[in-house]
Structure 1
Amino acid sequence: MLFNSLEFAIFLPIVFFLYWFVGKENTRLQNIIILISSLFFYGCWDYRFLFLLSFSILLDFYSGIKISEAATPRSKKLWLITSITINLGFLLFFKYYNFFVQSFADLLMNFGFQPNIWTLKIILPVGISFYTFHGLSYVIDIYKGRSEPTRNLIDYSVFVSFFPLLVAGPIERASHLLPQVQQARHFSAEKASDGLRQILWGLFKKIVIADVSAMYANEIFSSSTHLHASTLVLGAILFTFQIYGDFSGYSDIALGVARLLGFELLKNFSYPYFSRDIAEFWRRWHISLSSWFKDYVYIPLGGSRGGKLKAVRNTFIIFLLSGFWHGANWTFIFWGLLNAIYFLPLLLFDRNRNNIEIAAKGKTLPSLREFFAILITFAQVVFAWIFFRAESLRYAFNYVKGIFSRTLFSTPEVFPKTQLVLIAIFLVIEWLGREQPYAIAGISIQWPRPVRWSFYFMIIFIIAIFKGSPQQFIYFQF
């Protein structure tokens, strides 16, 4: 059930009605309604994987209690290791089994062997990377003494399976979401209208920016060997907006839906394409994943303590893991490596914390220096996305090779004028609203009511024009 589908447009009002008018202010009943709705939502993807989700929930729920009640450090650690091993075991099997087998076979073939490999036709459970990380952070936080386990299975199940974030994040922490699940929630018309506004902007990002850009990007990437270099550059730029509109659009819808139900989820994107260096980009792109790796991998490895060499090592580990988390393909690992290389000079010269505030804060336009810094960072990101998008490393390198040719300054064979105009308008709106939680949170609400509603209806009209058959969100495959 896609957020941008008719089914979800029917599903959400039903859940909203049951939650607020049947559940009223009975927190337990509201949580039961959310849990049933979330399991139904997940079952619409593939009901067979409800068992896997339920098993993961039960495993971490009871592991958390056992870790807390453990009489000895050894017993405490044993429960933690059990939970981590089983969780990662499922993730590695479903997501990476064929990758490991094929990679090992390719290695043997390089030495002259001809192995008979055994791969499996494995269906990847949607959202497994996200809900696995929810559970891992929960048991690790209990083990570290940062939080106490809940003994209410319904509350914990809602924390893991909450349908707005279940299949593509943001990756929540129990310390942030679980207290919201446990406390009483009261309907707020102001929060609900804000949630609807964010949902609308998320749908615009997904349907108008991402899906239409995808149509042209797919056309260019599928026939890259026959196209001019200028067209290849345009294809990479279009994919850059496709993946941003797709994933940040999903996150906006997820946060908006959660706000309709009285919850506040972690912000997952903060205008990453206005970043002035790659360190700032990673503080603004997929924030929940970056912070998860920082808290549960980077800092336990020693972080930046122990000198530059250790910091460089840990940084490369984080970026490679981030690439590997995205999928079972060497292209993702190379993408992670490339971002680590981008990050390296900033780390070595202690410049990775230079740009904390949003660009040109409190100003209408950036300075010339900021403008070129944004442009250079954007170019780095576009280049890296080529490897993320490519089907193989060989394809990616051939694509890059095609860019550096004499046709770089020729007229692109594919030139979607309307889409490029819409992207330009989108960028202007994002820039004007960059200091807000989402782009239209402030710039529209301050306008007179007739202007404001005209703006909303214009967005709805544009969405209606460009809406075709619902397209799956990119990050569902991760």
Structure 2
Amino acid sequence: MLFNSLSFALFFPVIFGLYWWIARKSLKWQNILLLVASFYFYSCWDWRFLFLLMFSIGLDYFSGIKIENSKNSREAKFWLTLSIVINLGFLGFFKYYNFFIESFAEFLSNFGFKVNIWLLNIILPVGISFYTFHGLSYVIDIYKKRIKAERNFVDYSLFVSFFPLLVAGPIERATHLLPQIKVQRTFSYENAVSGLRQILWGLFKKIVIADQCAIYVNEIFAHHQGLYGSTLAIGAILFAFQIYGDFSGYSDIALGTARLLGFDLLKNFNYPYFSRDIAEFWRRWHISLSSWFRDYLYIPLGGSNGGNWMRIRNTFIIFLVSGFWHGANWTFIVWGFLNALFIMPSIIFKTNRNNLDVVAENSLFPTIKEILMMGFTFGLTVVAWIFFRADSVMDALKYIRRVCSYSLLKYPQKEVKWLVAIILFFMAVEWFGRKENFAIEKIHLDHNRWVRWGFYYILIGGIIYFSGEEQIFIYFQF
């Protein structure tokens, strides 16, 4: 069931009505209703994998209790290790089995050994990377004594499987979401209006920006061998906007949907393409994953302690692991490696915390220096996105080589002026709303009713005009 589908448009109003009119007076029934709805939502993808989700929930629920009840640190570490190994074992099998087998066979072939490999036709369970990380952070936090183990099985199950974030995040922490689950929610008109507004903006990002960019991106990347460098450059830039519109659009819909139900989820994007360096970009892009790796991998490895060598080593580790988390392909690992290289100057010279404020915070427009910094940072991310999007590392290298050829100076073979105009409109709205949680959050405060509703109708008209066949979200494959 996709957020941008008719089935979800029918599913959610039913849940919303039952939640606020039937179950509103009982916390127990609110949570039971949401848990049943979440399981149904997930089963719509493939009901067989619902049992895997339930097993993961049960494993971490009982592991958390065992860790908390352990008589000594050795026993607690045993249960923590057991949970981590089983969780990562399932994730590794479903996501990386064929990758490791093929890579091993290719490695042996370089030495003249030919082996028959046994590949499996494995279907990747939707959302497994996200709900696995929910469970891992939970048991680790219990082991570190940051939280107490949750005894209410329904409440814990809802924390892991809450349907707005189940498939593609944000990756929630028990410290943030569980307390909200354990308190009865009351309906707030202001929160509901804010949620609808964020859903509207998320749908615009997905349908009008991401899906329209995808039409050109798919064609350009599929036939890059015969296209001019100028056309390929446009394709790479359009993919940058596609993946941003797609993923941040999903996050907006997820956060807006959760707010309609009385929940406040973690912010996952903070206008990353207005970043002035790569370090700032990674504080603003996929925030829940970046902070997860910081707290559960980078800091345990030693973080920034121990001098430059430790900082460099740990930075490369988290970026390579982050790349591998995205998928079983060397392209994602190279993408992570490139981002580690790009961020190295700020790590070595300790400038990675320089840009913590909002760009042009006290000004309507950025300075020339800020424009150049944002342009350079965006250019680096676009180069890395080429590897993220390409089918193989060799395809990405050929793509970049073609971009750097004399054909970059030729007139592009694809006409995208109308799409550029829409993207400029989109980025202008993002720029003027860059201080808010989402771009159109405060439009109702800054404009009169006619301007406000005129703007809404423009967004709705664009969504209706460009709506067609339902397009899956990019991060569903991760």
SS in 1 for 2:166: coil
Distance 2:17 2:372 in 1: 49
**Long gaps (5+) in structure 2:** none
Q: CA deviation at 1:24?
A: 1.3
Look up the SS of the partner of 1:369 in the other structure: helix
**1:35-70 CA distances to partner (integer Å, 9 max, x unpaired)?**
000000000000000000000000000100010001
Equivalent-residue separation in structure 1 for 2:91 and 2:35 (angstroms): 23
Instruction: Give the whole-Å Cα distance in 1 for the aligned partners of 2:245 and 2:444.
Output: 20
**TM-score of the aligned structures, taking structure 1 as reference length:** 0.99
Asked if the contact 2:160–2:166 (Cα under 8 Å) also holds between the matched residues in 1, the reply is: yes
Residues 1:397 and 2:397 aligned together: yes
Name the SS of the counterpart of 1:440 in structure 2.
Answer: coil
Structure 2 SS opposite 1:431? helix
Q: How does 1:63-102 map to 2 (within 5 A)?
A: 63-102=63-102
Amino acid of the structure 1 residue aligned with 2:68: S
Q: Using the alignment, how far apart are the partners of 1:444 and 1:184 within structure 2?
A: 28
1:54 partnered with 2:47: no
Counting only pairs closer than 5 Å after superposition, residues 245-256 of structure 1 correspond to structure 2 as 245-256=245-256
Mapped contact 2:277–2:373 kept (Cα < 8 A): yes
* Distance in 2, Cα, partners of 1:25 & 1:163: 21
Contact residue 298 and residue 318 of structure 1 kept, 8 A = yes
Q: Is the 1:445–1:452 contact (alpha carbons within 8 Å) kept by the matching residues of 2?
A: no
1:354 corresponds in structure 2 to 354
Q: State the SS of the aligned residue for 1:45.
A: coil
Matched, 1:232 2:227: no
CA distance in 1, matches of 2:445, 2:429: 14
CA distance in 1, matches of 2:458, 2:386: 33
Structural mapping, 1:333-348, within 5 Å? 333-348=333-348
Q: Distance in 2 between matches of 1:121 and 1:357?
A: 48
Distance in 2 separating the partners of 1:162 and 1:462: 30
| Structure 1 partner of 2:408 | 408
Q: Secondary structure at the match of 1:105?
A: helix
8 Å contact kept, 2:24–2:185: no
Tell me, in whole angstroms, the C-alpha distance in 2 between the residues paired with 1:151 and 1:7: 34
What is the distance in 2 between the residues matched to 1:21 and 1:122?
A: 42
Q: Work out whether residues 206 and 249 of structure 1, in 8 Å CA contact, stay in contact via their aligned partners in 2.
A: yes
CA–CA distance in structure 2, aligned partners of residues 464 and 419 of structure 1: 16
Give 2:308's aligned residue. Answer: 308
Q: What residue identity is the alignment partner of 2:82?
A: T
Work out the CA distance in 2 between the residues paired with 1:218 and 1:451: 36
- Work out the CA distance in 2 between the residues paired with 1:132 and 1:248: 21
CA distance in 2, matches of 1:206, 1:358: 25
Structure 2 distance, partners of 1:111, 1:445, is 68
Equivalent position of 1:285 in the other structure: 285
Question: Unaligned stretches of 5+ in structure 1?
Answer: none
Structure 2 CA distance, aligned partners of 1:153 and 1:363?
50
Structure 2 residue aligned with 1:182:
182
The letter of the residue matching 1:218 is N
Post-superposition Cα deviations, 1:273-302, rounded to whole Å, max 9, x if no partner, equal 000000000000000000000000000000
Query: Aligned partners of 2:265 and 2:470: how far apart in 1?
Result: 25
Shift of 1:362: 2.5
CA distance in 1, matches of 2:241, 2:268: 16
SS of 1:183 mapped into structure 2: coil
1:135 equivalent in structure 2: 135
Conserved? CA contact 2:94–2:122, under 8 Å: yes
8 Å CA contact 1:444–1:455 kept in 2: the answer is no
What does 1:64-463 correspond to in 2, within 5 Å?
A: 64-463=64-463
Tell me, in whole angstroms, the C-alpha distance in 1 between the residues paired with 2:120 and 2:210. 32
Shift of 1:444: 4.3
Aligned partner of 1:40 in structure 2 is 40
Q: Distance in 2 between matches of 1:444 and 1:415?
A: 36
Residue 23 of structure 1 pairs with residue 23 of structure 2: yes
How far apart in 2 are the matches of 1:25 and 1:380? 52
- The alpha carbon displacement at 1:417 in A equals 1.4
Contact 1:433 1:441 in 2 (8 A): yes
- TM-score, normalisation: structure 2: 0.99
Query: Which amino acid in the other structure matches residue 121 of structure 2?
Result: K
CA offset at residue 457 of structure 1?
1.2
Contact 1:432–1:443 at 8 Å: present in 2 too?
Answer: no
Q: Distance in 2 between matches of 1:83 and 1:141?
A: 13
Matching of residue 7 in structure 1 with residue 7 in structure 2? yes
Equivalent position SS for 2:44: helix
The one-letter code matched in structure 2 to 1:256 is G
Matched position secondary structure for 1:337: helix
Secondary structure of 1:362's aligned partner: coil
Q: What secondary structure is seen at the aligned counterpart in 2 of 1:165?
A: helix
SS at match of 2:276: coil
Alignment: residue pair count: 478
Structure 1 residues 203-227: Cα deviation after superposition (integer angstroms, max 9, x where no partner): 0000000000000111111110111
Tell me how far apart the structure 2 counterparts of residues 339 and 302 of structure 1 sit (CA, whole Å). Answer: 20
Q: Which amino acid aligns with 2:198?
A: Q
How far does the alpha carbon of each residue in 1:325-381 deviate from its partner, in whole angstroms, 9 at most, with x for none? 000000000000000000111111111110001111121100111110000000000
Q: Is the 8 A contact 2:443 2:452 kept in 1?
A: no
- Off by >6 Å, runs of 4+ in structure 1: none
Distance 2:354 2:435 in 1: 18
